[in-house]
Amino acid sequence: MSMIKRNLKMQNKIEKFTLKPLEDPKFITTARAAYEQNGIKKSWEIVKAHDSVAILIYHTERDAFILVQQFRPAVYMNNHDGMTVELCAGIVDKDLSLEQIAKEEIEEECGYAVPVEKIVKITSFYTSVGFAGSRQTLYYAEIDESMKVSEGGGIEGEVIEVIVLPTQEAADLILDENIAKTPGLMFAFMWWYARSTNGNSVTGR
């Protein structure tokens, strides 16, 4: 895990962190759901958020995964420094196919142009089921240096660090509690290892 630990030391100076009431929300809305379950009246606080896509990117020439590292205020608020290691991902907020959105996110965040037909769906699942229940669709894409078109890093003020993680280090990352990461990333790694161990093509549906 030395490569990720080095990158986690990148400058990330956070100041004047405050919490304020949410006004004029752009990406999420809150509500209280009221319903009856087996004749019993109940209520539940809910956050309505966009669905999303995430992509496990494998660099064939480097035998490595391409990941992203960025600051997440919600993680910072809870119990960490706010820096997370994640799959390349993005919300579904455009009138495009999920594969097209995944293609755009790969190029914007990581700097590689991947043809839509080379982006393979793995599965979809629901996240934050206790309060949001958004659906994330997970994809797999293989890249090489001939597909690189920029340094990535995101758009519109995003601060995203591209991480190149050798596949032999990914297993350690799954259980390393010192590095904040998403369940989707851990699931994607386990999917990749399972397919590889069984001798199946990781690009097969």
Higher pLDDT, 12 or 123: 123
Per cent of the chain over pLDDT 90 is 70
Q: pLDDT tens, 71-91? A: 999 999 887 788 999 999 999
pLDDT in tens, 162-180: 999 999 999 999 999 989 9
* Angle between helix 183-197 and 167-174 (nearest 10): 130
Which of the two residues, 144 and 4, has the higher pLDDT score? 144
Q: Half-sphere exposure of 128 toward its Cβ, with a 13 Å CA cutoff? A: 15
Query: Are 169 and 189 spatial neighbours (Cβ–Cβ below 8 Å)?
Result: no
Q: Is the pLDDT of residue 109 over 80?
A: yes
Report the pLDDT value the prediction gives residue 13, as an integer from 0 to 100: 77
Lowest mean pLDDT across 75-84, 104-113, 117-126:
75-84
Confidence band, pLDDT 50/70/90 cuts, at residue 3: low
Amino acid at 199: G
Q: How far is CA 36 from CA 20, 44, 76, in A?
A: 32, 11, 36
Between 71 and 156, where is the model more confident? 71
For 193, the token pair is 């290892």
Rounded to an integer, the average pLDDT of 135-158 is: 92
